[in-house]
Amino acid sequence: MSTTLTWLGHSTVVLDVGGTRLLTDPLLRRHAGVLRRRGPKPAVLNWERPDAVLLSHLHHDHAELRSLRMLPPDVPIITAQANARWLRARGLKGMAPGDDGWASVGSNHGTRVRLCEAMHHSRPMPHRPNEANGHLVRSASGVIWIAGDTSLFDGLTELGRDAGGAIDLAIVPVSGWGPRLSGGHLDPVQAAEACARVGARCAVPVHWGTLHAPGGRIYPPRWMDRPGPEFAAALAERAPGCRPLLPAVGVPTVIE
């Protein structure tokens, strides 16, 4: 079976897997606070009717409340426990997986999601919980690792075991919304190293080319366009068995 992936910019990805639609870190409006979006806002047709939202953490460029409230109120938002409580207090369906670590999503319950480790402790927020996580997805289409915002950590080599099988697809951040990265993020070379440690068969870079601070789009020249191709080049050196995919924003891509 295949997976259809639609990148909507930054860390927002739609995954259609095994008859289930998953939406990651939804930014669905034109901008995110003070951050500017390059290009139009995502088309509703690309993200409507998700079965579940996978939320990595509560930084505003990943958990934008106005975007989350554009979704049906009964859509579960799967995230860490403290984040889920915070979301429920705001009328959203925040939830953490059950005792066995997995949550079944979709009408046929053939797709399962669990949280995995992410190291992202920079820029703590005083007004929101600061827990961070990635996600593992299992379905008839294969195993997907969605890294969330993270730095490299020792447990990457254990993700295949945690997922119950080899990682078929990795969705990894490779940059930020400025030319300089703070701690808790991956640059293109580090993201390629993460894919090598995980043993991923295919990888899609996200968290690049979309958001910028006011005035930040032009300095230094073309900084927004470089991380994706740099990641593909680094992947060829560090994880030659992993195939890079650089989908255009808003264009569905079928991954066999």
**Could you tell me the residue range of the domain that residue 67 belongs to?**
3-249
Q: What is the pLDDT of residue 125?
A: 86
pLDDT at 114 over 70: yes
Helices (H), the chain: 44-47, 65-68, 81-88, 159-163, 188-198, 227-238
Query: Tokens 């460029």 label which residue?
Result: 61
Torsion of CA 146, 252, 199, 153, to 10 degrees: -30
Ranges of beta strands (E only) in 43-192 are 52-54, 77-78, 94-95, 103-105, 111-116, 134-139, 142-146, 169-173
pLDDT at 122: 75
Does residue 108 fall inside a structural domain?
A: yes
Please say whether the beta carbons of 27 and 61 come within 8 A. Answer: yes
User: Would residue 229 count as lying in a domain?
Assistant: yes
Indicate which CATH number applies to the domain containing 133.
3.60.15.10
Length of the chain: 256
Is 71 domain-assigned? yes
Number of domains in the chain: 1
Q: Picking from 113-127, 184-198, 229-243, which range would have the lowest pLDDT averaged per residue?
A: 113-127
Give the closest residue to 99 by CA, choosing from 81, 125, 117, 76: 81
Average of per-residue pLDDT across 44-57: 97
Runs of H (alpha helix) within 133-176: 159-163
pLDDT at 217: 66
Residue 24 has a pLDDT of: 98
The answer to whether position 223 is within a domain reads: yes
- Residue 120's pLDDT is 92
Domain assignment present for residue 178? The answer is yes
| Region of poorest pLDDT, from 145-149, 218-222, 245-249 | 218-222
Residue 155 within any structural domain of the chain: yes
Domain assignment present for 255? no
- Please tell me the predicted confidence (pLDDT) of residue 18: 85
**Rounded distance, CA 131 to CA 123, Å?**
12
- pLDDT at position 44: 97
- Name which of 76-90, 102-116, 229-243 the model is least confident about: 102-116
Mean pLDDT computed over every residue of the chain: 94
Q: Is the pLDDT of residue 218 over 80?
A: no
Please write the tens of the pLDDT for every residue from 229-242.
Answer: 999 999 999 999 99
Residue 53 resides in a domain: yes
Q: For residue 99, what pLDDT band results from cuts at 50, 70 and 90?
A: low
The CB density around residue 27, as the number of other CB atoms within 10 Å, is: 26
What is the per-residue pLDDT for 214?
Answer: 86
**pLDDT reported for residue 179:** 80
